[in-house]
Amino acid sequence: MVDSDQESLPPNNVIGAPLPFWHRFLGKDRPRISWKDSASAIFFSSWLNALLILIPIAWVSHFKEWTHGLTFGLCFLSIIPLEKLFDWGGEQLAMYCGEDLGDLIVITLNNTVEATLAIILLARCELKLLQSTIAGVVLLHLLLIPGTTFLTGGVRIREQLLHPDRSQLNLTLLTVGVLALTIPAAFFASVNTSNANGVEAGGFTGPSDTLRRDMLRMSRGFAVILLTIYICSRIYLHNPPPADSDAPKDVDNQNGGTTRPEPPRRRKSTATQYGPQVNPRACLLLLAVTVALMGVTAEFLVDSIEFVRNQANIEEEWFGIVLLPLVSFSADGTVAIVFFIRSSLRRFFTAPEPPEAIAEGRAIDLSIQFLLFWTPFVTLLGWWLNKPVSLLFDLFEVTLLIGACFLVNYVTADAKTNWAEGFVLVSFYAMIGLSAWYYTGQSEVRLMDACRSVAAAITDGVSPGQ
């Protein structure tokens, strides 16, 4: 009797030959996983799933109009397990899609929380807060997340390795993404708004609507170019052109023989080492439900932002650069803290596990995708929704991004890291958070981000969302 899965294989399939994508995606080459086992694996995937009980409580707090601070806190905590489910579900789905496509899926799903917040802020026309959040997300993925992983992962080993080919390409992609934000800021700073048909009210002369229209056209052109760059980079990573010869060259060793160089290694997650725990259909259902819960909870979170910001007297820049991006890091940060404490205590009772020689540098890929894909996507989406969102960022935010780009490029240039470099990245992020606490924002850029005309914003006074 032939199994039904084997019957569905193509007749010319031979042992050792790669399966077609659709057969591999459906798990034809793996043992079948039942829906019961899939549900059990999802439920016990992380102890953070216990926080899922806060989701209905957060929704009740929103509809019953409890205090805005309580609603914000409940929504913040509710997003933690959802973010972890995105991460876990992405790793499970990636094992059915192959290494390259799976890596893209994991990166995209890890950016889902930030992308959801960005789209909601765009729909509500909180454009200045949107730009601050974009800058904060990139800074978080460039500094805090890799800094903590380099710091904790390199404590018991002299240095960890990064993927050399990806590191070299990442340096270029990251630099061009930051430079794309530098050009509009430099252009705007070079234009004398008082002599460019600016609008004057109350002794203050601001930029004109004509200048904003030009900036919007420039930003939309930049967005198309950035998307093209990102698509080309993914094509290169998935299907790189062959080298001088298809086979790697042999290298002479000290004993007179020849050795073949090892291919670049990637750090594998625990889930990848043990294989998938859910079937692909259950994984897709999990991600669809998680996206729906995330969208509603994030919208309720944004509803309470302005009230919490006013009550706590928090500057909008700090709120966007530091607090909102931490929503995406809260799940991984909580797990990392618990893992670090548990590993430290285990050293006193059992033999410690060998240190990991491959550094986790996926967070840098997240920042590159957010710069080259999600930021231009939000810009073009704003064009379609008739929202005047542009790539003109606050000069302070652009300066922070340039500094972070320079530091990360310098740290990862040799494809090696250590705990001291991780501490430097975390320390620089702490400097940014401290300075953002006192920063009130650039008034001219705030006027350019007004949803009304610049003239009306100057005359009546502008506030977020107007």
Contact (Cβ atoms closer than 8 angstroms) between residue 413 and residue 141: no
Query: Which residue in 392, 365, 344 sits closest to 132, CA to CA?
Result: 392
Q: What is the pLDDT along the chain (466 residues), one digit of tens a residue?
A: 444 444 444 444 444 455 566 666 666 667 788 888 888 998 888 888 898 999 999 999 999 888 888 998 899 889 888 888 888 888 888 888 877 777 788 888 888 888 888 999 999 888 999 999 999 999 998 998 888 888 877 666 677 777 655 667 888 899 999 999 999 999 998 886 544 455 554 455 667 788 889 999 999 999 999 999 999 998 888 777 776 544 445 444 455 444 444 444 455 554 555 678 888 888 889 989 998 998 899 888 888 887 877 777 788 889 889 988 887 676 666 666 665 565 555 555 554 554 444 445 677 888 899 999 999 999 999 999 999 999 999 999 999 999 999 999 888 887 788 888 889 999 999 999 999 999 988 888 888 888 877 777 666 665 444 4
Q: Alpha-carbon distance 164 to 413, whole Å?
A: 9
Give the per-residue pLDDT at 24.
64
pLDDT in the model for residue 358: 43
Compute the residue count for the chain: 466
With a CB cutoff of 8 Å and minimum separation 6, the contacts of 172 are none
For residue 82, give the nearest of 373, 362, 332, 377 by alpha carbon. 332
What pLDDT, on the 0 to 100 scale, is given for residue 216? 94
pLDDT at 10: 47
DSSP state of 10: -
> 49: which DSSP letter?
G
Q: How far is CA 227 from CA 103, 118, 372, 380, 426, in A?
A: 18, 17, 6, 10, 30
